[in-house]
Amino acid sequence: MMDLFFREWLEYFQWNAEEPDTLPWQARENPSDAEKAAIGASLATFQLGENSEGSALRKFAAEYGERMGFGMLPDITVLFVREERNHSALLARFMDKHGIPAKASDWTDAVFRMIRRPFGFEVSISVLITAEIIGLVYYRALREATGSRLLRAICNKILEDEKAHLEYESALIRFAQSTRGPLKRAAWKLGHRILFAGTAVVVFREHRRVLLRGGLPFIEFFDACWKEFHRLFPAAVSPRESKAGAGLQGAAWRS
């Protein structure tokens, strides 16, 4: 069943890599100074975060794939990282087009990379999906916060890709959790929830100008983040259901 899961996700990432760029780069628009002041620094932080080379994740994927017999996992991870870096390139091109300066570093990006690095593939994916769930809510708000047709189209492209990423990553996590005993599984779930809640608070604090401009005060933002989390990780799913569901999740992108 897991062979089918990985085969279908490998096909998805290969297919998506070949999709042509249809974004409206020639759109005649000039975001106002007020809009660029409101979204610029936040946009630059997300652009930086999407630009990771993923060397540690690729290394962990190779080790985990060999240990678990998941031979296609390293190739999927390479394509996954490439897709994330393409998001960064799209944002960077928009920023360059409109004179929004890039960032060389940001403390939130540094913390996330530091958390992922020492702990292996399963923890890395848990940290990554935390950022991507919250990022999904952020990009929806950014889409509402801008008057730029081009930036809205970029947000739609990123959102489309990230929805697939979340289905893939959450299935991996549910499968990995299903291989643990009850105590380790409970500790993992608790740790993930604490990380998620803390990250959501930090993201709102750092990006509140965009979120408020996009119509998301803190309570609504926090609720939207948890709604996505619970959609991906239903509390009532049993370990046996997690194993079965992971094998079937790969077909989701075809629908």
CATH number for position 67? 1.20.1260
Q: Classify residue 149: in a domain, yes or no.
A: yes
Alpha-carbon gap, residue 225 to 137, rounded angstroms: 6
Q: Classify residue 22: in a domain, yes or no.
A: no
Q: Classify residue 82: in a domain, yes or no.
A: yes
Cα of 63 vs its chain's centroid, Å: 22
Q: Classify residue 27: in a domain, yes or no.
A: no
Q: Classify residue 26: in a domain, yes or no.
A: no
- Is residue 242 within 8 A of residue 178, CB to CB? The reply is yes
Over residues 23-82, the pLDDT tens digits come to 999 999 999 999 999 999 999 999 999 988 888 899 999 999 999 999 999 999 999 999
The domain tally of the chain equals 1
* pLDDT for 143: 98
Cα of 55 vs its chain's centroid, Å: 17
- Is residue 162 within 8 A of residue 139, CB to CB? The reply is yes
Q: Classify residue 226: in a domain, yes or no.
A: yes
Q: Classify residue 20: in a domain, yes or no.
A: no
Over residues 155-170, the pLDDT tens digits come to 999 999 999 999 999 9
Domain that holds residue 50: 2-14+32-254
Enumerate residues 6+ apart whose C-beta is below 8 A from 239: 177, 178, 185
Q: Classify residue 25: in a domain, yes or no.
A: no
Q: Which amino acid is at 162?
A: E
